[in-house]
């Protein structure tokens, strides 16, 4: 069958000059994995990444008219849903024989509503590598869909939900993403990580052994599973040899999975000589590293590590089920700096019941840790998280108001409203966020360090300074309040 997979545009479009300073582009791994399985089944698969190609609505409509696919598969998260609906209604009107299949977290959570509103023909729950080919096979043979586990579909006026599909147990058996369907050179910058040149993501695991209540991992991956270390390093080697990718970003909730697996991974990378060819970036928890492991990770080519510090308040850490403490954060940073590993500190403000003093404590804490780069996000209670379920009784609120989930990156541009769960007003949270950014980066030693360590290129440093001055001027009134 002729299948078109679409990664839809969203408000985080990197064509925006301001957002472009901080936000990079990453290939949509979920869709490319599904594409790889479909190609194994001998289907004709085309891929359209509207997000990275900056195509207008009319351009994508014309593309679809020309291709006239049998099946269109679209990945849906909350910020993209408004546009996806428009896209699906176009297909309904112009491509009468084309079947629409939606997947990813938002589609899984609101499958019944999506199908009742006739936005799609089929919704795939959770992992789609095995479900999607079975859906395509049934559509091709005009067979009922009831035998397929892990999907929902419309049958007359009724929405049918099939039995739950077990999580994929053998992740090593899945093919690599279908990199041949995209131009990997389009994914050549992640400024916030100081990466330039082709970059690819590797997913070494699915799910998370931890259950932080602001995270939606559990909504998509119901069980923590991991690939073998050899399989992961094989993929690194494949990307370098076949696509000349010098930058690898691990997409896991945390990687390595343990101190022991960390040493195993580093030893394998060094044994193959990849540490001299590839640099890699990962995110982890502060309790998953120690001095010896960080030293070995640096030797194995680790370029930058992201730590989800989140907050400077012990009370908030306990409330969000982070299972770490501030002392562990200081300890992790001490040894990360000792071995000259670049760092990105991730922080959030606007937790339920968080006071303004606790927000300011987080800002001071971030300065004490003194990462190379920091990021302050406004907390957004995404559907499927414990946070959303605990504080919002209206399950359909997100379905009816998806645009409210577009705002996590919105510093001063303020294109979108903010879905706020904090006792602090949205206006005040924005002021505090601007203050956090300015007070961190507008320090001479921080700017000099970015330049000397070449964490950001000279041109990017210039853009960052201009951006900071811009929000400083925009925030003149806010600074008086602060």
Q: Are 133 and 224 members of one domain?
A: no
Q: Is residue 107 part of a domain?
A: yes
Q: Look up residue 18 and give its two tokens.
A: 């301001």
CA distance 382 to 389: 9
Please, what's the b/e burial string for 230-242 (b: 16 or more CB within 10 A of its CB; e: otherwise)? ebbbbbbbebbee
Q: What is the CA radius of gyration of the chain?
A: 23
pLDDT at residue 18 greater than cutoff 60:
no
Render pLDDT for 378-435 as a digit per residue (tens, 0 to 9): 888 888 888 888 877 788 888 888 877 775 555 544 555 667 788 898 889 888 988 9
Residues 6+ apart with CB under 8 A from 216: 105, 382, 383, 384, 385
Report the pLDDT value the prediction gives residue 10, as an integer from 0 to 100.
67
How many other CB atoms sit within 10 Å of the CB of residue 314?
A: 15
CATH number for position 131: 3.40.50.280
DSSP annotation of 292: H
- Cβ atoms of 175 and 33 closer than 8 Å: yes
Alpha-carbon distances of 394 from 78, 210, 233, 389, rounded to whole Å? 16, 26, 45, 9
SS3 195: strand
State how far the Cα of 425 lies from the Cα of 182, in Å rounded to an integer. 43
Higher pLDDT, 222 or 440: 440
Per residue in 289-324, pLDDT (tens digit) is: 999 999 999 999 999 999 999 999 999 999 998 999
Task: Answer whether residue 26 is part of any domain.
Answer: yes
- pLDDT at position 43: 97
Does any domain span residue 462?
yes
pLDDT attached to residue 213: 83
pLDDT at 91: 93
Q: What is the pLDDT of residue 239?
A: 96
C-alpha distances (whole Å) from 276 to each of 185, 246, 334, 371, 438 are 21, 10, 25, 25, 37
Cα gap 430→410, rounded to integer Å = 9
pLDDT in tens, 133-168: 999 999 999 999 999 999 999 998 899 999 999 999
pLDDT of residue 362: 97
The stretches of 95-223 forming alpha helices (DSSP H) are 105-109, 111-116, 131-141, 217-220
Question: Looking at the structure, do residues 144 and 195 belong to the same domain, yes or no?
Answer: no
Average pLDDT, the chain: 88
Res. 196 pLDDT band, cuts 50 70 90: confident
23 pLDDT above the threshold of 70: no
Give dist(CA 242, CA 250) in Å, integer.
19
pLDDT on residue 15:
46
Contact indicator for 91, 100 with CB cutoff of 8 Å? yes
φ and ψ at residue 350, rounded to 5 degrees:
100, 25
**What's the pLDDT band for 283 if we cut at 50, 70, 90?**
very high
DSSP 148: S
How far CA 409 is from CA of 43, 144, 256, 358, 419, in Å, comes to: 38, 43, 27, 21, 13
Rounded to whole angstroms, how far apart are CA atoms 100 and 123?
9
Where are the strands (E) in 63-137, listed by range? 71-75, 99-103, 122-124
| Distant-in-sequence, close-in-space partners of 183: CB < 8 Å, separation ≥ 6 | none
Residues 294 and 383 reside in one and the same domain: yes
Please indicate whether residue 276 or residue 417 has the higher confidence score (pLDDT).
276
Residue of 124, 61, 121 lying closest to 97 (CA atoms) = 121
Range of the domain at 411: 188-481
246 with 156, same domain: the answer is no
Instruction: Give residue 16's Cα distance to chain centre.
Output: 19
Decide: helix, strand or coil at residue 342.
Answer: strand
Residue 279 domain flag: yes
Q: What per-residue confidence (pLDDT) applies to 479? A: 47
411 or 183, which is more confident: 183
Same domain, 297 and 366: yes
Mark whether 301 and 421 lie in a shared domain. yes
Half-sphere exposure (Cβ direction) of 11: Cα atoms closer than 13 Å: 19
Q: Are residues 122 and 193 in the same domain?
A: no
Q: Residue 294, Cα to own-chain centre: how many angstroms?
A: 24
In a domain, 166, yes or no: no
Residues 146, 203 share a domain: no
210 closest CA partner among 293, 305, 320: 320
* Residue 303 token pair: 């370029």
pLDDT score at 13: 52
Q: Is residue 365 part of a domain?
A: yes
Let me know: does 8 contact 83? Beta carbons within 8 Å: yes
CA distance 74 to 25: 18
pLDDT higher than 90, residue 25: no
Of 213-217, 236-240, 349-353, which range is least confident? 213-217
Q: Kindly state whether residues 150 and 230 are assigned to the same domain.
A: no
Q: What is the mean pLDDT of residues 360-389?
A: 91
On whether residue 180 sits in a domain, the answer given is no
> Regarding predicted confidence, which is higher, 108 or 405?
108
Task: Flag whether pLDDT at 474 surpasses 70.
Answer: no
The pairing of beta strand 99-103 with beta strand 122-124: parallel
Contact in structure between 199 and 309 (CB atoms under 8 Å)? no
Task: Report whether pLDDT(242) > 70.
Answer: yes
Integer distance in angstroms from the first to the last C-alpha of the chain? 60
Regarding whether 212 and 157 lie in a shared domain, the answer is no
Report the percent of the chain where pLDDT is more than 70. Answer: 88
Q: Say which CATH number the domain at 291 has.
A: 3.80.30.20
Minimum mean pLDDT range among 10-14, 79-83, 96-100, 267-271: 10-14
Q: In this structure, are 157 and 201 located in the same domain?
A: no
Residue 226: which pLDDT band, with cuts at 50, 70 and 90? Answer: very high
Q: Do 154 and 17 belong together in one domain? A: yes
Instruction: Please state whether the peptide bond connecting residue 282 to the residue before it is cis, i.e. omega within 30 degrees of 0.
Output: no
Task: Tell me the longest C-alpha to C-alpha distance in the chain.
Answer: 67
Residue 120 is assigned to a structural domain of this protein:
yes
Q: Look at residue 156 in the predicted model and tell me its pLDDT.
A: 87
CA-based nearest residue to 18, from 429, 320, 414, 455: 414
The structural domain count of the chain equals 2
Q: Decide the pairing of beta strands 225-226 and 99-103.
A: unpaired
Query: To 10 degrees, the CA torsion angle through 413, 418, 423, 427?
Result: 30
């Amino acid at each position: 069958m002729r299948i078109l997979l679409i990664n839809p545009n969203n408000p985080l479009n990197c064509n925006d000059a301001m957002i472009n300073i901080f936000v990079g582009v990453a290939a949509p791994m979920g869709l490319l994995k599904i594409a790889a399985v479909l190609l194994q089944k001998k289907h004709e698969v085309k891929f359209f990444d509207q997000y990275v190609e900056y195509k207008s609505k009319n351009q994508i409509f014309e593309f679809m008219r020309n291709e006239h696919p049998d099946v269109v598969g679209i990945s849906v998260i909350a910020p993209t849903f408004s546009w996806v609906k428009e896209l699906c209604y176009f297909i309904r009107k112009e491509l009468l024989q084309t079947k629409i299949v939606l997947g990813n977290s938002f589609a899984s959570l609101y499958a019944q509503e999506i199908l009742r509103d006739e936005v799609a023909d089929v919704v795939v729950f959770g992992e789609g590598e095995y479900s999607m080919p079975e859906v395509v096979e049934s559509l091709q043979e005009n067979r009922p869909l009831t035998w397929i586990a892990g999907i929902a579909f419309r049958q007359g006026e009724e929405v049918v939900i099939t039995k739950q599909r077990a999580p994929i147990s053998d992740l090593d058996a899945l093919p690599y993403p279908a990199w041949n369907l995209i131009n990997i050179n389009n994914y050549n910058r992640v400024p916030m990580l100081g990466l330039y040149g082709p970059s690819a993501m590797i997913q070494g695991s699915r799910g998370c052994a931890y259950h932080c209540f602001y995270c939606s991992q559990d909504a998509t991956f119901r069980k923590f599973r991991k690939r073998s270390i050899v399989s992961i390093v094989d993929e690194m080697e494949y990307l370098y040899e076949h696509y000349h990718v010098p930058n690898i970003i691990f997409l896991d909730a945390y990687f390595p999975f343990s101190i022991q697996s960390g040493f195993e991974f580093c030893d394998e990378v060094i044994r193959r000589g990849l540490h001299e060819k590839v640099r890699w970036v990962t995110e982890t928890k502060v309790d998953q590293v120690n001095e010896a492991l960080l030293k070995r990770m640096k030797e194995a080519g680790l370029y930058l590590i992201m730590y989800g510090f989140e907050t400077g308040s012990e009370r908030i850490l306990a409330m969000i089920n982070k299972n770490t403490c501030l002392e562990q954060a200081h300890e992790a940073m001490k040894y990360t700096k000792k071995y000259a590993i670049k760092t990105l500190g991730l922080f959030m403000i606007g937790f339920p019941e968080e006071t303004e003093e606790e927000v300011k404590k987080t800002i001071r804490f971030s300065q004490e840790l003194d990462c190379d780069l920091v990021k302050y996000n406004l907390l957004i209670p995404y559907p499927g998280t414990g946070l959303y379920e605990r504080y919002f009784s209206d399950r359909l609120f997100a379905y009816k108001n998806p645009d409210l989930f577009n705002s996590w990156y919105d510093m001063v541009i303020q294109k979108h409203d903010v879905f706020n769960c904090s006792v602090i007003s949205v206006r005040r949270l924005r002021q505090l966020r601007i203050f956090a950014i300015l007070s961190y980066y507008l320090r001479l030693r921080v700017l000099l360090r970015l330049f000397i360590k070449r964490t950001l290129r000279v041109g990017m440093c210039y853009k960052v300074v201009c951006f900071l001055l811009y929000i400083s001027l925009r925030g003149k009134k806010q600074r008086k309040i602060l």
